[in-house]
Amino acid sequence: MIDVSQRADFMKSIRSRHGLEEILDGLDRLKNMRVCVVGETIIDEYAYCNAMGKSGKEPMLVTRFVSCDQQGGGVLAIANNLAEFSDHVELVSSLGEVDSRRDFVDSCLKPGIKATFVSQRNAPTIVKRRYIDSYSLAKMFGVYQMSEEELQGEDENEFVAVLKSAISRCDLVVVADYGHGLITQKARDLLITMSPFLSVNTQLNAANTGYHTLSKYPHADFVCVHEGELRLDAREVHGDLRPLMVSKARKMGLEAMMVTLGNRGTILFKQKAGFFSCPSLANKVLERVGAGDAVLCLSSLAAAARLPPDVINLLGNLAGAQAVAVIGNRASIKKSQMLESIRLIMGRMPVDKAIRGRALGQNGG
């Protein structure tokens, strides 16, 4: 449900602090940033089914297959989102030696993205298949195809060598660490010591619950994580989130940290500047898969470009609003749509109309 008062307060605050041209100029500056994206390649499959009923002889639900949709997820989606705003995007990842799906992966990436994939021996490319009720779009269950082993031996050495070369050409390194074994200790050490500006997300998911946390990275420049991911790292289920953010930012030497709060928007902490909140700007929510990655993309670019904290919040939330309006990563974030949203927010249109405007959180994809 849209919190009209919070949105109105946020929009008034943005309008009072910044002009439209200032924000558009800041967004335009992002296109010259050279970005290296690092993390696992994931293929998302959505198998749509119709429920038929209980099996006649077994205690299980039987469904009828309708269709299947394949999408480029993980760092493929992140690279595509970044390529909408930056003219220089490199991708460093891996594919499985077994069932690599290289042709599909290549077809997913936007032209102009420089991609390098290391082959992981005796492993498949990661596929996350979700079975969906075709009427309600509710997820019934998921089946993941992936290796349980870390990258090692010659594969790890090749990955580190490719990573070192890519980092040397970039202004910003965005790490989406899904905890599936690609980013080893050796790779993390390289990322921390060599990256000119390091942005990190350590995702909590079904395959890594309990042992994959932000503490694996003793230093970064910017972090974007979900509230649950920060609380898991701090071992603090309840209580005020802000002290956890301050403590983690100081311990890691961060310039800034953003925490996503689902339908409550985001909160950003910047050293020496304090806290900045932004309500959710989504009007339409179909699915949340890919939303955090979209926020990571734009907030990382904006943070590395040293845009004002409330502008970082704005751009990240507008990216997330676009992402939740489609199923998975069916469509990447559109710069044209973001520009429309910014003009709507920053223009002379009354705040109440801007809140309900078509551009906020809508996506025709």
| pLDDT tens by residue, 174-223 | 999 998 999 999 999 999 999 999 999 998 888 877 778 899 999 999 99
- Tell me how crowded residue 83 is: count the other CB atoms within 10 A of its CB: 23
Residue range 101-126: mean pLDDT, rounded: 94
User: pLDDT value at position 25?
Assistant: 94
Is beta strand 126-133 parallel, antiparallel or unpaired with respect to 139-145? antiparallel
Q: Which two tokens stand for residue 234?
A: 């701090």
Residue range 312-319: mean pLDDT, rounded: 94
Q: Which residues pair with 44 in a beta bridge?
A: 71, 128
Q: Which residue has the tokens 């394949």?
A: 70
Q: How far apart are the first and last CA of the chain?
A: 22
Q: Which two tokens stand for residue 270?
A: 């910047």
SS3 (DSSP) at 88: strand
Which one-letter amino acid corresponds to residue 277?
S
Q: What share of the chain is helix, strand, coil (3-state, %, to 5)?
A: 40, 30, 35
In angstroms, the CA 17 to CA 33 distance is 25
The pLDDT-based confidence of 89 (bands split at 50, 70, 90) is very high
| DSSP character at residue 180 | S
pTM: 0.90
For 53-87, the DSSP string reads EE-SSSSSEEEEEEEEEEEEEEHHHHHHHHHTT-S
pLDDT at 267 over 50: yes
Q: What is the pLDDT of residues 115-155, one digit of tens each?
A: 999 999 999 999 999 999 998 888 899 999 999 889 999 99
Evaluated on CA atoms 261, 320, 303, 348, the torsion sign reads: negative
Q: What is the pLDDT of residues 317-358, one digit of tens each?
A: 999 999 888 887 877 889 999 999 999 888 755 544 554 554
User: pLDDT value at position 360?
Assistant: 58
